[in-house]
Amino acid sequence: MTKILFAISAAIGAIHLAHALTLDRKIQYLNILVKDKKISNELNGCRIAFITDTHSTSAKTLRSIVKQLNNKTIDLLLLGGDYHKDAFEMWRTMEILSSVQTNDGIFGIEGNHDNPQKLQAAMNFYGIRKLNNTGIHVRPRLFVGGTSCIRRVHPLQANISDTVASAKADDFVILLTHEPDTTMKESTKGIDLILSGHTHGGQVTLFGFWAPALTLVRRITKYGQGFMSGWAKSADDTTVFVSNGVGHHLIRIFSRPQVVVFELKTADI
């Protein structure tokens, strides 16, 4: 029995190591259809790319992402925070991502590893709009807002109500907030889609189902695997999508890096 258990454990370990060295190093491009009655005919077919948690992603990988997105028709690029701790590399990340060709611009927020002032300077320089508890009508009836970081102790700590204050009742409202836990602390009423990152898909998981870093220690998120990856709900039932993010950040196991493209569709199509 001991030999059998050892053999099973060794096989599981080998599978996870192989996955970490192969698929978990390859960017997954997700194409997601979003249908909603608040999506107007004018917004029908609008394609929104979402990139988050680039961390120490190499310039080569970032350029390959840009190339992939430029081969698609991208109307809007949204950036979800945590770009790089090193100031030089963060500036280079902004430079590369700013070359994504969009119809409606590039907007981003800060993450818990970003220096807000340095990030603001880099985004300004490369023509990326940084959202600090603010929002903007990207198109008629399409409102995008972005919060500051929930962990910041400066005056611009995350504030959802301020972020979406200028949205109209018939707008399709997208909220960027780096940490999904933000959605459990404030009202998200009137918001239609929330995009987050931060949890890295659990980073190191058992076949993608169990993430020790999220369940045994609640430092990354207080809600365990509720915000591990993919679709979730805020405290008041607003739809949240949590991306695995792009950066490897040491090692990933059964938590492939992701770039997500959402396509908006009216509900009756």
* Domain spans in the chain, listed from the N-terminal domain onward: 2-266
Confidence at residue 151, expressed as pLDDT on a 0 to 100 scale: 67
> Of 65-79, 139-153, 252-266, which gets the smallest average pLDDT?
139-153
Both tokens of 136, joined, read 């903007």
What is the Cα gyration radius of the chain? 19
* pLDDT category of residue 152 using cuts at 50, 70 and 90: low
Lowest mean pLDDT among 33-47, 133-147, 162-176, 200-214: 200-214
Tell me the average pLDDT across 137-148. 96
- Tokens standing for residue 237: 């039932």
d(CA 162, CA 145): 9
Which amino acid is present at 89? E
Q: What is the distance between the alpha carbons of residues 242 and 234, in angstroms, rounded to a whole number?
A: 11
| CATH fold label, 2-266 | Purple Acid Phosphatase; chain A, domain 2 (3.60.21)
Give whole-number Cα distances, 268 to 4, 32, 39, 172, 173, in Å.
55, 17, 10, 15, 19
Read off the pLDDT of residues 66-85 as tens digits, 9 standing for 90 and up. Answer: 999 999 999 999 999 999 98
- The pLDDT, as a whole number, for residue 70 is 97
Give me the pLDDT at residue 267, please. 86
Mean pLDDT of 111-132: 95
Contacts of 97 (CB under 8 A, 6+ apart): 51, 54, 62, 66, 77, 79, 106, 126, 128
- Distance, in Å, from the CA atom of 130 to the CA atom of 162, rounded to the nearest integer, reads 15
Other beta carbons less than 10 A from residue 210's beta carbon: 15
Decide: 163 and 210 in contact? Cβ < 8 Å.
Answer: no
The predicted pLDDT at position 20 comes to 73
13 three-state secondary structure: helix
* Calpha distance 243→184 (Å, rounded): 17
Can you tell me the distance from the alpha carbon of 4 to that of 17, in angstroms, rounded to the nearest whole number?
20
Distance, in Å, from the CA atom of 74 to the CA atom of 99, rounded to the nearest integer, reads 12
Helix axes 59-70, 87-97, angle to 10 degrees: 20
What separation, in Å, do the N-terminal and C-terminal C-alpha atoms of the chain show?
57
Across 94-116, average pLDDT: 96
- What pLDDT, on a 0 to 100 scale, did the predictor assign at position 22? 83
pLDDT at site 18: 78
Q: Identify the pLDDT of residue 241.
A: 98
More confident residue, 202 or 18: 202
Q: What is the pLDDT of residue 72?
A: 92
Give the three-class secondary structure for 34.
strand
pTM for this entry? 0.95
Least confident of 80-84, 102-106, 147-151, 196-200: 147-151
User: What is the length of the chain?
Assistant: 269
Mean pLDDT of the chain: 92
